[in-house]
């Protein structure tokens, strides 16, 4: 039986909502602590937010991070992490964690996958071994890992698939969610269902209704940002969140440019994750209060100014653009560290400002100002290395 504090069920509170729309400010209380919403979750793929220590992520005021079931099940193995007391202890992160189901990585990374109603078979990218992932196995792995929030095992149909294929994925996603709920035995983990349906509004509505019927403690919107147009993406998100209950948290998976966060929050999303801010940092692209800075640019060679004079992160307090450019051009680990630190500091402040705007009743103006600044700035394709 887990200790008392781990038995506390998840609680979600909405503190303020934009009167003219769906944007809301809230708080998510989890067994390993709480976090304000809306919130961006840094991605700790392999039990590490790349380049940072847990202490640094904590000092950046993050209290909820994501880790990837697919990667951790392959290495070091969820059994290893379970034997060592679970993921929190393994990675020395005392705050809340969300694990995905492994589904998205199978559909985006794995070779030779074979999908049936039972589950998915694929080859390990590490050693080529055949691996089967099912709803039951995904839940078992996530129970070994022990995150505060775990995700249902869903089918993520390709971005350009037919409506028929998308429908098959919706049907399977609902069936698999029921199997996940049946398989779940730990009381201290909140299992979120996932809305699928690609870019088809009728399927999104159907999926949302079917998933909500399962009465999960929270809901995710999956299958977006996978190749559709921005217009299609926002329409699909709009339909999805319209059919999700107001009292439960909503999580838009894999989305994370500043402009996308604003659009998502505006459509009622509470939680986001994306590798973009950390991956872009390692590629030398950072967010600043005046827009995107590409540190590789020769203009920074002798620039003694900080990345962002409006930022108070360690990178901006101590280091010049000239030094950061030199580290990046030399492929030095410290360069990856300092740019990652800054991007996560920037996004933390960005959602903190968004929340304050909602609470203060200034959301529409804040939203419009940020969209005007950011919708022309960041090419999300830059996230692909």
The two tokens of residue 280 are 């872009």
- Distance, in Å, from the CA atom of 113 to the CA atom of 123, rounded to the nearest integer, reads 7
CA distances from 100 to 18, 106, 139, 152 (A): 29, 12, 10, 8
Q: Cβ of residue 13: shortest distance to a second copy, in angstroms?
A: 32
Q: Cβ of residue 67: shortest distance to a second copy, in angstroms?
A: 12
Cα dihedral 179, 103, 62, 378 sign: negative
- Distance, in Å, from the CA atom of 2 to the CA atom of 88, rounded to the nearest integer, reads 14
Q: Cβ of residue 73: shortest distance to a second copy, in angstroms?
A: 13
Strand order in the sheet with 39-41: 39-41, 271-273, 250-252, 219-221, 190-195, 149-151, 96-99, 64-67
Among 22, 27, 50, 243, binds a second copy (CB under 8 A): 50
Active-site residue among 18, 78, 100, 188? Answer: 100
Binding mask 327-346 for a second copy (x = CB under 8 A): x-xx-xxx-xxx--------
- Is-catalytic flag, 273? yes
Which CB sits closer to a second copy, 44 or 223? 44
**Number of chain residues interacting with a second copy (CB under 8 A):** 38
Binding span for a second copy by CB under 8 A among 48-56, 144-152, 218-226, 366-374: 48-56
Nearest-10 Cα torsion for 152, 92, 64, 110: -40
Which CB sits closer to a second copy, 41 or 378? 41
294 counts as binding a second copy under rule CB under 8 A: no
Binding span for a second copy by CB under 8 A among 111-119, 144-152, 226-234, 325-333: 325-333
298 counts as binding a second copy under rule CB under 8 A: no
Among 10, 30, 43, 52, binds a second copy (CB under 8 A): 52
Active-site residue among 78, 154, 266, 273? Answer: 273
- Distance, in Å, from the CA atom of 198 to the CA atom of 170, rounded to the nearest integer, reads 9
Binding mask 60-99 for a second copy (x = CB under 8 A): ---------------xx---x--xxx----xxx-------
51 counts as binding a second copy under rule CB under 8 A: yes
Q: Cβ of residue 53: shortest distance to a second copy, in angstroms?
A: 7
Q: Cβ of residue 282: shortest distance to a second copy, in angstroms?
A: 9
Active site residue ranges: 100, 273
Please give the residue ranges that form the binding site for a second copy (CB under 8 A).
46-48, 50-55, 75-76, 80, 83-85, 90-92, 301-302, 304, 314, 318-320, 322-323, 325-327, 329-330, 332-334, 336-338
């Amino acid at each position: 039986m887990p200790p008392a504090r781990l038995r506390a069920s998840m609680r979600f509170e909405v503190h303020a909502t934009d009167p003219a729309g769906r944007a809301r400010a809230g708080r998510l209380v989890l067994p390993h602590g709480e976090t304000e919403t809306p919130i961006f979750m840094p991605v700790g793929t392999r039990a590490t937010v790349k380049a940072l220590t847990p202490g640094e992520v904590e000092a950046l005021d993050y209290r909820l991070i994501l880790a990837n079931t697919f990667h951790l099940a392959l290495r070091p193995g969820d059994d290893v992490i379970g034997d060592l007391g679970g993921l929190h202890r393994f990675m020395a992160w005392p705050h809340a964690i969300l694990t995905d189901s492994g589904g998205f990585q199978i559909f985006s990374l794995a070779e030779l996958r074979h999908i049936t109603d039972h589950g998915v078979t694929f080859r390990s990218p590490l050693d080529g071994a055949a691996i089967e992932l099912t709803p039951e196995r995904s839940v078992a792995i996530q129970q070994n890992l022990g995150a505060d929030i775990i995700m249902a095992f869903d089918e993520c149909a390709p971005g350009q698939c037919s409506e028929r294929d998308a429908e098959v994925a919706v049907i399977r996603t609902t069936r698999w969610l029921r199997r996940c709920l049946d398989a779940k035995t730990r009381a201290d983990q909140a299992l979120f269902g996932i809305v699928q349906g690609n870019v088809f509004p009728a399927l999104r509505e159907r999926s949302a209704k079917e998933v909500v019927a399962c009465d999960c403690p929270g809901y995710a919107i999956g299958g977006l940002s996978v190749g559709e147009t921005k217009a299609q993406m926002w329409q699909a998100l709009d339909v999805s969140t319209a059919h999700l209950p107001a009292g439960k948290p909503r999580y838009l998976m894999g989305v994370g440019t500043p402009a996308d966060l604003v659009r998502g929050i505006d459509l009622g999303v509470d939680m986001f994750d994306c590798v973009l801010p950390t991956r872009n940092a390692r590629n030398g692209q950072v967010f600043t209060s005046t827009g995107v800075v590409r540190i590789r640019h020769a203009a920074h060679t002798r620039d003694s100014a900080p990345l962002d004079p409006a930022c108070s992160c360690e990178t901006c307090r101590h280091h010049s653009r000239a030094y950061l450019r030199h580290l990046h051009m030399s492929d030095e680990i410290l360069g990856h560290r300092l740019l990652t630190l800054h991007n996560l500091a920037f996004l933390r402040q960005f959602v903190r400002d968004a929340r304050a705007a909602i609470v203060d009743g200034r959301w529409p103006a804040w939203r419009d100002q940020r969209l005007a600044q950011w919708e022309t700035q960041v090419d999300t394709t830059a996230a692909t290395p």
